[in-house]
Amino acid sequence: MNPIQRARTDFEAYLQEVEDLVKNVLIPNENRLVDEETIPEDLTQALREYGMFAMTLPEEYGGLGLETEQHVRLQMAVTRASCVYRARFSTTVGLVCQGLSQHGTEDQRKTYLPKLASGEMTGAFALTEVMAGSDAAGVATNAKLDGNNYVINGSKRYITNANIADVFVVMARTDEGDKSASGMSAFIVEKGTPGLEVAEVDRKMGQGGAPTAEMTFTDCRVPVSALVGAQEGIGFKVAMAGINTARLHVACTSVGQAERLTQEALDYAVGREQFGQSIAQFQSVQNMLADCRAETLAAKSMILETARAIKVAPTKSQRADISCCKYFATEMVGRVADRAVQILGGAGYLCNHPVERLFRDVRLLRLFEGTSQIHQGIIARHMIEEETSAAANG
């Protein structure tokens, strides 16, 4: 029985296999990811074979058929290794697959989801622009109907996996008179479509091997069948379907990385001696280790509780809870990473120790899928709306 079959029949045994993969294959090969433009093919193939590209989809489309709590636990397990591995499949399973699964036509689902689930195709999500990101309604890329085609013009930036993607879900404005989110639509654009160009891979502070790049669309023609859901004006809904899953997965990644950082710090503290004893015996070091474990457990518990409540698509209240998870967990891992460097001292500042790389990698988690400040606003607005509604209803 292969790992994908086991995932569908015995999740706990499958999760143990994934943990073994992380320990014996993914972590030992992390250094191969540095300064690369993508993950080497042999490691990508391992991710395919263990069903990483299929974790969020139902079995009918080649997915693992997991409940939300299960794919959350799976994501936490995988991200004890470098979060660069997550970047290779997470955009596909979240931003792309969920948008198509929840809002695509049946023909679109049958055409793309099985290939995305197997890892045969890599997906990319093209929303962010110079004036659009946290403000999704700021999208200026436009798509105009011309006979049996839409003609797309505009540019995107920070697009994860743009250089290796086979298919893009692209947000574009189809109603020039409507500058709100309701004027946006979503399109499926395949690699190699004339008029689509991808620039050189961006150089970043961390997460080497997880490529991002700018994209331009110049009179890029796609058939009307490329309109997601065969309906204009639902682009924001398509985006949010994927973004909610992606936000939960970023929170999971923060837990996985925090567990890894805590273990690295603990191992070093136990083995490092100063003043005739292990530095783990000093109370100041113990305090930092304890804070790492306590905060990581708090984030993990929050995410699991939120995931258990989600049955199909999250409700409005659950979307606010997802924001709580994303906000708390990503801020938490930043604190854990800083403590880990502090415990290691000079060793944690040198590039030959994983903690230095992990420290740089996790900084991005507080920025993408909504900055911490954006999520504070989402959470507070939901609280205020609930209070106002309760007061109005007596």
Q: What digits encode the pLDDT tens for the residues 169-182?
A: 999 999 888 888 88
pLDDT tens digits, one per residue of 134-150:
777 789 999 999 999 99
Q: Which CATH number fits domain 124-233: 2.40.110.10, 1.10.287.610, 3.30.470.20, 1.20.120.530?
A: 2.40.110.10
Residue 130 clears pLDDT 80, i.e. is over it: yes
Q: So what's the pLDDT on residue 252?
A: 97
Confidence of residue 306 (pLDDT cuts 50, 70, 90): very high
Q: So what's the pLDDT on residue 177?
A: 81
Give the architecture-level CATH label for domain 237-392.
Answer: Up-down Bundle (1.20)
What is the b/e burial string over 228-239, where b = at least 16 CB atoms within 10 angstroms of the residue's CB? Answer: bbeebbbbbbbb
Mean pLDDT along residues 204-233: 95
Mean pLDDT along residues 331-360: 96
List, in order, residues 6 or more apart from 202 with CB less than 8 Å away.
Answer: 158, 211, 212, 213, 214
Intrachain domains 124-233 and 237-392 with the same fold: no
369 is catalytic: yes
Question: Over pLDDT 90: what percentage of the chain?
Answer: 88
Q: Domain coordinates of the chain in residue numbers?
A: 3-121, 124-233, 237-392
Residue 336 clears pLDDT 80, i.e. is over it: yes
Q: Residue 215: helix, strand or coil by DSSP?
A: strand
Task: Name the average pLDDT for the chain.
Answer: 94
pLDDT tens digits, one per residue of 224-269:
999 999 999 999 999 988 899 999 999 999 999 999 999 999 999 9
Nearest in space to 210 (alpha carbons), one of 307, 89, 72, 121: 89
pLDDT tens digits, one per residue of 50-84:
999 999 999 999 999 999 999 999 999 999 999 99
Q: Is the pTM of this model over 0.85?
A: yes
Q: How far apart are CA 308 and CA 242, in angstroms?
A: 18
Confidence of residue 394 (pLDDT cuts 50, 70, 90): low
Q: So what's the pLDDT on residue 107?
A: 97
Q: So what's the pLDDT on residue 393?
A: 80
**Class level of CATH domain 3-121:** mainly alpha
Catalytic residue, chosen from 214, 259, 295, 369, is 369
